[in-house]
Structure 1
Amino acid sequence: MRKFSLLFILPTILLAQEKAVTPTVKQPGKYDTNKFSQMYDLLATPNMFRTAAGAPGPAYYQQQADYKIDVELDDKNAKLSGSETITYYNNSPDNLEYLWVQMDQNQAAKNSQSPLVENEKVEAVLPVNKFANEYLKEGLDRGFNIEYVKDAKGNPLSYTVNQTMMRINLVTPMKPGTSMTFSIKWWYNINNYQQDGGRSGYELFEKEGNRLYVIAQFYPRMAVYNDVEGWQNMQFWGGGEFALPFGNFDVSITVPADHVVDATGELTNRSEVFTPEQVKRYQLAQKSFDKPVVIVTQAEAEAAEKGFSDKKKTWKFSAKNVRDFGIATSRKFIYDAMAVQLSGKVVMAESLYPKEANPLWGETSTMMVAHTLKSYSSHTFDYPYPKAVSVSAEDQGMEYPMICWNFGRPDANGVTSEQIKNGMIGVVIHEVGHNFFPMIVNSDERQWTWMDEGLNSFMEFMAEQELGTNFPSRRGPAKNIVPYMSGDQKMLEPIMSNSESIIQFGNNAYGKPATGLNILRETIMGRELFDYAFKVYANRWKFKHPTPEDFFRTMEDASAVDLDWFFRGWFYSTDFVDIGINDVKQYYVTETPTVALKDAKVRKGRSGIDKGPFVYLIAGDNPELNPASKKPLQIDEVSTLSEYVNQKLTAEEKATLKNPKYFYEVEFNKPGGMPMPIIVQITYEDGTMDNYKYPAQIWRKSNETAKKVYATNKAIKQILIDPKLETADIDVTNNSWPKVETKSKFD
């Protein structure tokens, strides 16, 4: 044997010498393209404002803007007039040479540039009203009309309007630790959002001539100034939403006397605007924890619809530590409310809706508000505000602190389909949930839509599933994002794209982040680790301004799970998941080597001498396989194994021995670029199953293939990857062995 080995090795040595004579050409160096590399190349450098752990740093600061606002609604002309006094606090370490104010209503002005940046095409079929709006009507100018900007002493302040931003030009810079008070007076024409578009405006009920108003972005609002980009300076083009500082609001809203109003904040003059009987009903609602109490009845709303009062009422609201303010007003409103018990306080869940929304809204809306507050609070922090309001506004779905507008109504006969009901439930949960993200965990929506819409869609999914009704959630389940992720790459962009650059907005900013978080929770991290880290993030950044880095770092920091590979692939690329079974080999055990094993590698001891005796595992497809060995393993029939067991092991060790009879080597491959855990379900010939899950790090040294060996006491009938569709695998045709023939659409 020794002589044969020398003869076998010698030609190999000579060949190596011959090759050494020929100079080798070295391959060029390469960048680190490993998908498990840390994200230092993508994340902002930690500093004193934001730590490497993802928490606010010792030098973290944020500005404050307080508002005193008076607005009046001209219902006959659909016009809103207002004046405001802003007190702005410079808590930064910087001297501010000017202040920037957001003028988002100017996106609807006649000279708006938003329509100019959108591509257009002729549509062959258009509804009559859309055709008229597009090609026949001139349209009103719906931008802000600024009447004055004054300082605290009433002197005019210099200002410059740049589309949807207004710069207040300061004579002397505003020093750190100081405040400044100034006032603005304005008016604008309110839009019919069903015809003109927009996130707020009015809905016209043509038969009776009434309007239902949902009013937002209605006042000039301070922009954010922070340590990340200084002044928020991106214009409002209509897609990316809003970034705003926190502050305190005192708002007086003057409307026709027959209107019912709700808004951000607590109503401070309830007895002046409601009847004594309605005040009593509200007091009952404050003690009703199981169902809503109707405060303004349908009969009262229907009577008000016919009045068109010429008198006025002023409703006064006060809100503390909020980033924005929204208003809903109409003479058509029915109003109900109930109390919600959270762990530390009682808050009010409320709804306003016209008779056209009943019976769906009376039965459903406020109950869903209450459910949302309980669900979200359990996963983050107790809802800190005194109330949350859901307003029926058809064709709308929009959120503001403590108040939101939601679509979904029965048909003309009061009949509600399951699709409409589920859609309405979903949008109520989603928009009420926005109170947490971004109204409290105050991310920059103008830059990163996913930080509020994606996180909130994930929270919505959990709240929907916690209803216990097998709710058909649209976003969250991994299988639902497959059509998007398997689409044309030219129509895809990473989640980490600016809001205005996203092509498929709903899939990119809502669906894919929600799915990714669900996969993290259920498949990669597990609920305990994920829920703890997510709650840490929410509590670290409530009433603050987090960035994507703060979220990514906190999720790792609080869980001790390295997620750079996941965030890099899922958020910064358009990689997709596709994991398959490339090959399965069955092996048989023998103690007699065949010619086919002459090149087998045998372990060497320290002395270099082969240590035997050996057991040989021979692939079942080997043509020289000893037929006698092609049968299930029986340890006692293999003398070397039998001797080892009997001579080397104690009785206690023998009692713990497994009894594998079959051996399989499974090679998995990864046609997709996105790493993901390999989830394997093995079904045996007797119908029993075993499940295995291998962490995504199994791909860390080879991005293409991975192998696992299964030693079992039962023959395998089927191997299946991702049996519950947990990983968003875009191609399941390669997920099984033996391969399952899938039916074509023709079949």
Structure 2
Amino acid sequence: MLKHYLLAAGFALSVTAPGVAQTTNSGTDKFKQLETELPTPNTYRTASGAPGHDYWQQRADYNIRVKLDDDKQAITGSEDITYTNLSPDVLTYLWVQLDQNILDKNSITTATQVGQVQEKMTFPAMEYLMNSDFDGGFKIESVKMKGGKDLPHVINHTMMRIDLPTPLRPKQNVTFSISWRYNINDQLKINERSGYEFFPEDKNYLYEIAQFYPRMAVYSDFQGWQHKQFLGNGEFALPFGDYKVSITAPADHVVGATGTLQNPDQVLSAAQRKRLASAENASKPVLIVTQQEAERAEQGSKAKSTKTWMFAAKNVRDFAWCSSRKFIWDAMQIKEQGKPVMCMSYYPKEGNPLWGKYSTEVVAHTIKTYSKFTIPYQYPVAISVHGPVGGMEYPMICFNGGRPEKDGTYTADRKYGMISVIIHEVGHNFFPMIVNSDERQWTWMDEGLNTFVQYLTEQEWERDYPSRRGEPKNIVDYMRTDKSLQTPIMTNSESVLQFGNNAYAKPATALNILRETVMGRQLFDYAFKEYATRWAYKHPTPADFFRTMEDASGVDLDWFWRGWFYTTDHTDLSIEGVKWYTVDSKNPEVENAKKRELINAAPKTISQQRNLQDIKKTLVDVKPDLKDFYNNYDPTATTDADRARYQKYYSGLTPAQQQRLNAGVHFYEVELKNNGGLVMPVIVQMTYEDGKQEVVNIPAEIWRKNNEHVTKVFVTEKPVVAFSLDPYLQTADTDLSNNSYPQKAAPSRFELFQQQQQAPLNPMQQQSALQQKEQKPLNNTTGGGSN
């Protein structure tokens, strides 16, 4: 119950005036500008967050030739790299990434992996501690200048320095060649970003191939060479260029890759070319290679001859490909702002029915939705490939998991998990394949931004889609964990403690809160799109993102970046107390009636209740002559003198003052406390006496004079019976128990269970068993239960 105070008319309720702090901050000013933390603007990168008039970036063009050995699961390759120096600097050496060397037995990753021996361990866990006997890593066979002269080079784990015979001056280029080979890892044993899957039933392999060639490192204006070692988490920083890639594979394999196929007449049958052409005007995916054709290929004798598939891609930062005789292949072309985009999927029969039904549709939906929130998709193709595990992204192609059971059934989690991973990996075409941030340093700049737009895309796929990340309520468990188990978002990729929460979920949630609660959709969407437009096909830094979001919206967000990205503070706002004031109208008829109501409503004490039973008569009851004036006096009765005084007072007021006096408004002084350290907007819901509710959104700047404790006065025309904070779970508040006044108990539940001896049937299997019992067929199209 709210405690009621009477506010005497003619006296002001104390309200903090602008510029006057209620109390002083005891800690760091959370609204301090980020100027000292961000790099100084220059002619390359402006204070507005846009590329400067002297912005430059390097270029690397590739001509690659590789051969897949399906008997030994190995790659041999050679490449010609033309590196163009567009910087103002003279370069005497170049750095090349050798990312396959993470699988070398003597890699830094292997040497520094940590673990513990448990009393009970699985075989994979034991093998992890023992390390693999897999002979991985690049075997560099030669590094030569164009013309054949050997180039001096030094391999430092996952990096290789190439010493140039003559300095490479601005606006000059150099062409050199590298030859190499390496063994492909089994993805089910060594879960890296690419590799092969072996299918023992038909003795075939499915290859997802990436990081398969030595790649140029980035040389930039803000850090020089990016030559941080590849340790596993921090992915890739790469320059843009044009690619010509020839892939030689068994003749019965189907190959998909970054870019467009240059020789369809040599590698595709007439029927396949006809089907591919029909996909250009299709409203749903067209099968280029059917499941029946894929099954015949995987069950037939393995081809001894080869085919060479030739692909070309312009203005991309990387290249990846896939190959298998098991592939089903479907395609559907869409138009994105008039530009055709061929959306395609490659998957084995083990992926059906999920993949044939959803994959290419998800690819198309992702391209359209991301284009709406960022920039129009510029590449000619977008491909989803189904492999055994996880998900990984490359320009125009990505590798995705999500496989149904062998009987074709699947859980809702498996379905939505597959759709989500495809959205996420296809979405990476925008971050970082186009908006080309440095993943080796800042994972959140691609994973976090991409996860945020993934959430938007999921919600446009299906009403109330069960998104795993993006909603503030979903990050609460992480935010409330001990700070020793967290790192700020602005932490190098290899030093992050909880990778998924820190690099994916937290930044995605932060952007959702910016869009919905801090900035509003209109301002946010414009600024986010401006960032993508400014930095498409360029190398942005965190400062460029922070500055652009503020510059394009006109919203000071330094407090938000500081709290969410530079600290491990969390949101925990509480209502510490509420005081209720009403104005004393001075009208004796009104005020005396209120007094009588309060007196009558006041409960009798336990002593008074018992005295009524135990004391039959008091002395005054026995001797009435002891009574005097006060025994019959009613302090709430209105006298003529009271009325006269009121009329004299009232007539001395101005009409405006009379109106205020009679308005019957209510003043509520709400005491707010910031327990978690993260300053956030205050969303207050007031529940009125008549049951109606009102929500008031107060900007985070309410904390600018005191980051820890403030009071806010609310003036209402109706009595308020309850206050609550964050009613729609907008701010990731970690403790809802202190969000209400009067305090409400937060409900919780517990579950009783028995130990299960075997995994339960999924809902589709349960329906199948029931229908088999009733001799009815299972409908995979409509079955599967609810979300």
**Same fold, judged at TM 0.5 (above):** yes
For residue 672 of structure 1, report the CA deviation from its aligned partner.
1.3
> Residue 467 of structure 2 is aligned with which of 453, 468, 473?
473
What is the DSSP-based 3-state SS (H/G/I as helix, E as strand, rest coil) of the residue aligned with 2:531? helix
Task: Give the structure 2 partner of residue 716 of structure 1.
Answer: 720
Q: How far, CA to CA, are the matches of 1:524 and 1:165 in structure 2? A: 43
Q: How far, CA to CA, are the matches of 1:389 and 1:448 in structure 2? A: 26
Q: How far, CA to CA, are the matches of 1:491 and 1:185 in structure 2? A: 44
Structure 2 vs 1, CA of residues 132 and 705 (structure 1 numbering), >3 Å: closer, same or farther?
closer
Matched, 1:676 2:669: no
Task: Give the structure 1 partner of residue 355 of structure 2.
Answer: 361
Task: Give the structure 2 partner of residue 65 of structure 1.
Answer: 60
What is the DSSP-based 3-state SS (H/G/I as helix, E as strand, rest coil) of the residue aligned with 1:391? strand
For residue 52 of structure 1, report the CA deviation from its aligned partner.
0.2
Question: Structure 2 matches for 1:105-504, cutoff 5 A?
Answer: 105-128=100-123, 131=126, 135=130, 139-288=133-282, 290-306=283-299, 307-504=301-498
Structure 2 vs 1, CA of residues 132 and 733 (structure 1 numbering), >3 Å: closer, same or farther?
closer
For residue 172 of structure 1, report the CA deviation from its aligned partner.
2.1
**What letter is aligned with 1:78?**
Q
**What letter is aligned with 2:469?**
R
Task: Give the structure 2 partner of residue 92 of structure 1.
Answer: 87
> Residue 74 of structure 1 is aligned with which of 69, 74, 87?
69
Task: Give the structure 1 partner of residue 609 of structure 2.
Answer: none
1:582–1:668: 8 Å Cα contact kept in structure 2? yes
What is the DSSP-based 3-state SS (H/G/I as helix, E as strand, rest coil) of the residue aligned with 1:466? helix
1:660–1:712: 8 Å Cα contact kept in structure 2? no
Structure 2 vs 1, CA of residues 387 and 644 (structure 1 numbering), >3 Å: closer, same or farther?
farther
Q: How far, CA to CA, are the matches of 1:53 and 1:488 in structure 2? A: 36
Q: How far, CA to CA, are the matches of 1:133 and 1:476 in structure 2? A: 33
> Residue 510 of structure 2 is aligned with which of 505, 516, 519?
516
For residue 714 of structure 1, report the CA deviation from its aligned partner.
1.7
Q: How far, CA to CA, are the matches of 1:641 and 1:485 in structure 2? A: 57
Identical aligned residues as a percent: 55
Structure 2 vs 1, CA of residues 646 and 218 (structure 1 numbering), >3 Å: closer, same or farther?
same
Q: How far, CA to CA, are the matches of 2:652 and 2:527 in structure 1? A: 49
Question: Structure 2 matches for 1:9-28, cutoff 5 A?
Answer: none
Q: Residues 400-451 of structure 1: CA distance to partner in whole angstroms, max 9, x if unpaired?
A: 0000000101101000110100000000000000000000000000000000
Task: Give the structure 1 partner of residue 767 of structure 2.
Answer: none
Q: How far, CA to CA, are the matches of 2:262 and 2:235 in structure 1? A: 30
Task: Give the structure 2 partner of residue 568 of structure 1.
Answer: 562
2:736–2:746: 8 Å Cα contact kept in structure 1? no
Q: How far, CA to CA, are the matches of 1:291 and 1:640 in structure 2? A: 84
1:683–1:689: 8 Å Cα contact kept in structure 2? yes
Task: Give the structure 1 partner of residue 668 of structure 2.
Answer: 664
Structure 2 vs 1, CA of residues 414 and 584 (structure 1 numbering), >3 Å: closer, same or farther?
same
Structure 2 vs 1, CA of residues 591 and 355 (structure 1 numbering), >3 Å: closer, same or farther?
closer
For residue 33 of structure 1, report the CA deviation from its aligned partner.
2.3
**What letter is aligned with 1:123?**
Q
Q: How far, CA to CA, are the matches of 1:162 and 1:738 in structure 2? A: 64
For residue 396 of structure 1, report the CA deviation from its aligned partner.
2.6
Structure 2 vs 1, CA of residues 590 and 55 (structure 1 numbering), >3 Å: closer, same or farther?
same
Q: How far, CA to CA, are the matches of 1:191 and 1:698 in structure 2? A: 56
Q: How far, CA to CA, are the matches of 1:638 and 1:107 in structure 2? A: 89
What is the DSSP-based 3-state SS (H/G/I as helix, E as strand, rest coil) of the residue aligned with 2:476? helix
Structure 1 range deviating more: 163-172 or 539-548: 163-172
**What letter is aligned with 1:722?**
D
Task: Give the structure 2 partner of residue 26 of structure 1.
Answer: none
1:591–1:640: 8 Å Cα contact kept in structure 2? no
Q: How far, CA to CA, are the matches of 1:698 and 1:638 in structure 2? A: 40
**What letter is aligned with 1:188?**
Y
Structure 2 vs 1, CA of residues 178 and 30 (structure 1 numbering), >3 Å: closer, same or farther?
farther
2:25–2:707: 8 Å Cα contact kept in structure 1? no
Task: Give the structure 1 partner of residue 783 of structure 2.
Answer: none
For residue 132 of structure 1, report the CA deviation from its aligned partner.
5.4
Structure 2 vs 1, CA of residues 684 and 210 (structure 1 numbering), >3 Å: closer, same or farther?
same
For residue 591 of structure 1, report the CA deviation from its aligned partner.
6.2
Question: Structure 2 matches for 1:624-663, cutoff 5 A?
Answer: 642-643=650-651, 647=655, 659-663=663-667
Q: Residues 142-187 of structure 1: CA distance to partner in whole angstroms, max 9, x if unpaired?
A: 1111111110111111100000000001122111110000000000
Task: Give the structure 1 partner of residue 762 of structure 2.
Answer: none
Structure 2 vs 1, CA of residues 98 and 31 (structure 1 numbering), >3 Å: closer, same or farther?
farther
**What letter is aligned with 1:324?**
D
Task: Give the structure 2 partner of residue 736 of structure 1.
Answer: 740
Q: How far, CA to CA, are the matches of 1:326 and 1:182 in structure 2? A: 21
Q: How far, CA to CA, are the matches of 1:548 and 1:642 in structure 2? A: 63
What is the DSSP-based 3-state SS (H/G/I as helix, E as strand, rest coil) of the residue aligned with 1:566? helix
Q: Residues 676-696 of structure 1: CA distance to partner in whole angstroms, max 9, x if unpaired?
A: 000011011111111101000
1:87–1:182: 8 Å Cα contact kept in structure 2? yes
Q: Residues 302-321 of structure 1: CA distance to partner in whole angstroms, max 9, x if unpaired?
A: 01102311010000000000
What is the DSSP-based 3-state SS (H/G/I as helix, E as strand, rest coil) of the residue aligned with 1:39? coil
Q: How far, CA to CA, are the matches of 1:139 and 1:478 in structure 2? A: 44
Structure 2 vs 1, CA of residues 640 and 149 (structure 1 numbering), >3 Å: closer, same or farther?
farther
Task: Give the structure 2 partner of residue 25 of structure 1.
Answer: none
2:585–2:661: 8 Å Cα contact kept in structure 1? no
Structure 2 vs 1, CA of residues 647 and 714 (structure 1 numbering), >3 Å: closer, same or farther?
closer
What is the DSSP-based 3-state SS (H/G/I as helix, E as strand, rest coil) of the residue aligned with 1:301? helix
Q: How far, CA to CA, are the matches of 1:649 and 1:112 in structure 2? A: 81
Structure 2 vs 1, CA of residues 130 and 690 (structure 1 numbering), >3 Å: closer, same or farther?
closer
Matched, 1:725 2:718: no
Q: How far, CA to CA, are the matches of 1:182 and 1:680 in structure 2? A: 64
Structure 2 vs 1, CA of residues 124 and 32 (structure 1 numbering), >3 Å: closer, same or farther?
closer
Task: Give the structure 2 partner of residue 553 of structure 1.
Answer: 547
Q: Residues 490-528 of structure 1: CA distance to partner in whole angstroms, max 9, x if unpaired?
A: 110100000000110000000000000000000000000
Q: Residues 267-311 of structure 1: CA distance to partner in whole angstroms, max 9, x if unpaired?
A: 0111211110111110110111x2100110000000110231101
What is the DSSP-based 3-state SS (H/G/I as helix, E as strand, rest coil) of the residue aligned with 1:435? coil
Task: Give the structure 2 partner of residue 11 of structure 1.
Answer: none
Structure 2 vs 1, CA of residues 658 and 152 (structure 1 numbering), >3 Å: closer, same or farther?
farther
2:489–2:564: 8 Å Cα contact kept in structure 1? yes
Task: Give the structure 2 partner of residue 687 of structure 1.
Answer: 691
What is the DSSP-based 3-state SS (H/G/I as helix, E as strand, rest coil) of the residue aligned with 2:281? coil
Task: Give the structure 2 partner of residue 42 of structure 1.
Answer: 37
For residue 585 of structure 1, report the CA deviation from its aligned partner.
0.5
Task: Give the structure 1 partner of residue 49 of structure 2.
Answer: 54
For residue 206 of structure 1, report the CA deviation from its aligned partner.
1.5
Structure 1: runs of 5 or more not aligned: 1-28, 594-620, 630-635
For residue 669 of structure 1, report the CA deviation from its aligned partner.
1.1
Task: Give the structure 2 partner of residue 17 of structure 1.
Answer: none
Matched, 1:705 2:698: no
Structure 2: runs of 5 or more not aligned: 1-23, 588-601, 603-633, 638-643, 752-787
Q: Residues 563-591 of structure 1: CA distance to partner in whole angstroms, max 9, x if unpaired?
A: 00000010000011111101101113226
**What letter is aligned with 2:722?**
Q
Q: Residues 705-727 of structure 1: CA distance to partner in whole angstroms, max 9, x if unpaired?
A: 22222222222121110001000
